[in-house]
Every structure is written in structure tokens, then in C-alpha cells.
Structure 1
């Protein structure tokens, strides 16, 4: 749902633009208890998110609780992060974007969100990740050591929060990694993409503070397929194989391709069909069913749904 400039998403939600209406219909028909929206433009007062929630309620599926921390996308740094000799370009923001807040993340819920329990990981510095894959060129840090004094790991956002469901708490964790392509000879984007997923594996191992409180669900656009496309495939494979999580491996039929598969992202003029989006419940939760739904033929990503038994 991302747009080309600030305020345009709010405009299109209020206008009930066709793609917005298709997404509203898809969500209302699946009636989720909790929903993570990706590529949802952030604005300071959350007006777009409020308008979107209002339309969901009008469609018969109210989700009155929501949270959307400010993303890194488009946040200016004043430095030359990509080493091209210029500053102030989209590549010099904390996360690539044409404007601040572009393509953010938002969580909506039928159940209360404990805002005080928010653990926003969006500001975590890349250099602070153990054994970080900081880009190097000809053996030297690239583009300059001072860049990594401010360079954050998350391309978009990463956070953890609690839902209160029938007096029991469910930890929701979410992140949206940048694409592993377009990184140049120093492989900056490829390395950063891998480390954005590796961050969560280290979280599960308890190597970045105490491990997350179970039960939990990790929601991710890792921009990384286990086998195909660009990127360091072993990182997503290691996360999926982690003993703390289970992979429901949802499938669904793509309306344009006419086939059933585990494809969650489809770019016919780019990398093609990839599995890049994941819903990973913690191991002790009982998964009842899972699947994919494409809101319209032109959509680049499917809605992923997973039913879990509650209470755990």
C-alpha cells in the first residue's frame, strides 16, 4: 500500500482506491485477530492507520487496537552511506526510501496491545550485532568508519509488543528487511539483509538480552528465500530451523499464475516467484491451519494467515 509521497496513502484510503478496497475486503473476509501491515506509510499522528482501521470496522471487522512505530525508511542521516560521493539521496537514509516514513509497519489487533511493553528495535545499530557483516571494500570498512556510528540495522522497522488475549499474553515480533540486491561490489545490501534476519535468530538464542517471552509469533518480510533469488539463503534457513519456532509452510493459489505454491512474493518482471514472507509461531503453540491469499492479481505479496489454538 506504499505510495510515492507523504499523505497520498491517507488520500487513497479516504477515496477507497481500488487496491485499498481489495485489501480491506481480503482482511475482513479472513477476520484476523492480529494483523501486521507492511509497506504502510507512516505519518506522525497515525492518520492513515486510523482511517484504515475505520474502513475495516465499516467492512464488519473492527480492529480497534493498533501501533505503528516510526520506521527507519527515509530518515535522513546527513552522511554518504552508500559511498557514491553524494549525501541526501534515498540510499543515504537509514533505510532506502523517497520520503521519511515510506513503507512502514503497523500492527492492528482485536485484542488490547500493551503499549508500555513495546520494545522498539528499529534504532539498533548494525555494528552492535555480534559478528556483524559490515561491508568492506578492498579490505577496508566501507564507505567510512563513522558511518557505522549511526547506521541502524533495520531497513524499515523491527519491534516486539504484547497482546492481552483472555488474560493471557502473546508476544508479537515483527520486522521488514531490505532487499539483498542493488548493493554494489561491497555487497552492502546483501550483508544487511542477512543480518536483519540473523538479529532475530540471536534474539531467540538469548544472545541479545533475555529471549522473547513465549508464547510468541514472529511476523516477517525477510526479503529472503531459502533457495531462490538474491541473498544469503542460509540465514533464513537457520531461522526456520530454530527449535523455538515452527514453520506452518502456508500455501495458496496465485490468481495470475494459476498455481498453488508457497510463493508469498511475485515480481513477474524482476526476481519472479519467491517465498520471502513468514509467520512463525513459537514451538509450543498448536497450529490449526495456515494458507495464503492474494488480494488481487497485481499484488506483489500475499496475505499470510495462520490459525493457532488459544489458550496455548
Structure 2
């Protein structure tokens, strides 16, 4: 399928609780100061150095807040109900590396420290504490004013930022790791311009005869591809490097006939598909330091994040996520849960018309439209052997279902997705 083929079916509107963006303020990336070492670091139940086993997870935990500084205030108390719940989910899954989507960013990275110290390192609901000595966070595009009326509604607001957000830092991202992060070789792609992707699916104004003309030339000179950012975070696991490719593409909705968000979601996903393809396909890529190209042949990687795209259902451009699922260097572990199957059957609505296997769903969206979807992914390179995979979505009879619940959710409308890998 060509990059320009679009989804023919009518695109539904998701409820506002769907992940909109990950946001950070302008500036250089930050490696959060490591905590004091402990015997648990790098030796979690899934991180035994003898067999080079690694559990990698992604979790859109919806810890975004409505105002700047609100998340820091909540995390400082140690008794925020939602933070305690999502912390227990992480403790139960106990990943060695986890990407957190929708975690508000602050330049001093105090929120990351507060979440680790006041929540993850404190037992909840009988779960053991988990310690992540290493963390990485960096600026993103959400909430940063573009200076242009990008949605053409006659006013300037959060929807006209480089990525949706009411303040700089809303809907941020964090990578937590029990293994060392090679901060010197982290690459970020916050400033990469959408127009610089060859064959980009730039949005089209359907009221004019010119193609791909929703944005003016002046706007195209500033509009960035990433609605948040794309990060290549190298993690050192038992002497080997695994590139954690973290992102959170925009939801493919909240737009109009021009489909600017649907097309952007497609190309944000395509960025990683090109990046992991050595040679001509990734030659156009440049990072925020001006270095060009993607990964080299043989480099190990895991693509992580809420991609906001289901392979068969929902609102995304046709085959957007297939760019990764069908990539010759990528393995799809097909993580499943019994809880997702049960939820689709009980909730009905749009779920009854879905073509995809409900066992693969990772997000509990509105029953009327789009229904529950597979939105969150852990996709390793084929040189990382998959040992196991799953989605943290307990059935209603499981006592742990109190952590996921039903709308309004005690934690998040997304579920933690994990994959166990052999590194080597």
C-alpha cells in the first residue's frame, strides 16, 4: 500500500480522555539524576544478567493535569489516589524499562523524582516497591505556541501549538530504567520539520484545487512532525545496547476534512519505520543536534508508545501502524489479555462491529465510537527474541481489576503493555 492511501471509512470522534499529546518545554534533553543504587537495580524479576532477559513496557498512565505545576503538587503529597493506582500497576508488572506517556513535564524534573520516591518506591496494595535508578525526559512540542492559526478557526490556542497542550509540559513523556541509560548518545527529534519527510502526507484543504495546501509556506517552515517528540534512548543491558525508540503520536481525530491529525499520526509512525531502515530510507532524518540518518544495520531496538493507531479499527489512516507491524526488522509479539476480551463483550457498541481481535486491545475508549482499540505497542527488533508478552487488563473476577476498573477509571483508559525479551 502506498503512503498516500487514506482510510475510506468514516472517522469517528473519541471522547476527550483519549491521549492527546505528550508535551515538554523547549530546551535540551535531561537525564534525571540517578537515585542511590540498590541490590534490586538491574536485577528485577525479569532482568537477570545471567540470561540477559529484559521486560520492556509502555504505559499511558494519564497523569496529565489541567494546570502547570498541579502534577508536582499532587506527587509531593504521596497520597494522590490516581498516582498510587498507576504506581501499583507498574509494581505488579515490574518492567525493567518502561515508557510513561501523559506525564506532565517540568524543567527541574522534580515530578519524575517525586513519582519514583513517593509512589514507585512505596508499596501499594500488597505489591513490592520497584526502583528505577535511571530516568530520561526531554522537551517536547506540546503547548509550545507556533505563532500561527494552524487549525484555521480564527483564534490562537492550545490546538495551534506545535503539539496540542494548554501549557508547555502538559502530556509529557518519561523513560524509566533499571539499567544504565547512555545519555551521551540519546537522540531527540523535537524540531524535525514535517515537510522534510519525503512524500509526507501533508494535509490538504478540500475547498481548493491545490494539493497538500492546508498549511501556508510560512507555516510549513515551522510545523514540526512530532506532536510531542521522538526519542532514541540507548539502554545498556549486560554489555549490549538496546535503543528505546519512544514516542506518542497525535490521535488521528479532533480535526476536519483536511485530516491534519490523521495524516500526522501516520507520518509520526512512519518516522520510526524509516529510522530503523538503514540506508536511503532513513537518510533524510536529522536530529536536534543536526546529525543525520537512522539506526545502523544490526542495532537492537524496541519501539515503544501509545501510537494511537489500531491495525483494523478506529480512526487512523489506513495501515498507519502496519508500517511498523509489517516491517522486516520488527517483531509483533501480539500481547493479549482476557480482560480486554471480557470488556469488549460486556460493553458492546462499536466493539461488536470491530474486525480486530479484542484480546489485543490496550485502551478502553467510548463504547459508541471508536470502541476499545489496540493503541499501545512494544515492538522489538527481530534480533531480540520474544519470550512472553501481555497486557495488564485483569478480568472483573480478578481482585486486581480494581486497578483498571471502568469509566471513570481509577488509573487510566490505557493499559500497561509488556514484552519479555532475550538480549543477545
User: Matched residue of 2:85: which SS?
Assistant: helix
Please state if 1:127 is matched with 2:195: yes
Residues 74, 97 of structure 1: 8 Å contact kept: yes
1:38-57 mapped onto 2 (5 Å cutoff): 38-54=101-117, 55-57=119-121
Paired position in structure 2 for 1:74: 143
Distance between the aligned counterparts of 1:211 and 1:116, measured in 2? 16
Give the counterpart of 1:205 among 270, 277, 299.
277
Please state if 1:278 is matched with 2:377: yes
How far did 1:258 drift?
7.4
Query: Greater Rg, structure 1 or structure 2?
Result: 2
1:1-312 mapped onto 2 (5 Å cutoff): 1-15=63-77, 16-54=79-117, 55-59=119-123, 60-87=129-156, 89-137=157-205, 138-140=208-210, 141-206=213-278, 207-208=281-282, 209-212=293-296, 214-254=299-339, 257=343, 261-268=359-366, 270-294=369-393, 295-297=403-405, 298=409, 299-310=412-423, 312=424
Paired position in structure 1 for 2:47: none
TM-score (norm 1): 0.94
Distance between the aligned counterparts of 2:185 and 2:116, measured in 1? 22
Distance between the aligned counterparts of 2:381 and 2:209, measured in 1? 40
The aligned length equals 310
Q: Which has the higher strand share?
A: 1
1:43-93 Cα offsets, whole Å, 9 max, x none, are 111111111111212332110100111111111111111122222x01110
Distance between the aligned counterparts of 1:38 and 1:95, measured in 2? 14
Give the RMSD, CA atoms, in angstroms. 1.7
Residues 269, 323 of structure 2: 8 Å contact kept: no
Distance between the aligned counterparts of 2:359 and 2:247, measured in 1? 23
Residues 42, 103 of structure 1: 8 Å contact kept: yes
Distance between the aligned counterparts of 1:57 and 1:113, measured in 2? 20
Structure 1 range deviating more: 60-69 or 232-241: 232-241
Distance between the aligned counterparts of 1:117 and 1:58, measured in 2? 32
Structure 1: which 5+ residue stretches go unaligned? none
Residues 204, 214 of structure 2: 8 Å contact kept: yes
Structure 1 range deviating more: 60-69 or 261-270: 261-270
Distance between the aligned counterparts of 2:365 and 2:171, measured in 1? 17
Residues 308, 375 of structure 2: 8 Å contact kept: yes
Question: Quick one: structure 1 residues 136 and 233, their matched pair in 2 at CA, closer, same or farther if it must change by over 3 Å?
Answer: closer
Distance between the aligned counterparts of 2:294 and 2:245, measured in 1? 14
How far did 1:178 drift?
0.4
Structure 2: which 5+ residue stretches go unaligned? 1-62, 124-128, 283-292, 346-357, 394-402
How far did 1:139 drift?
3.2
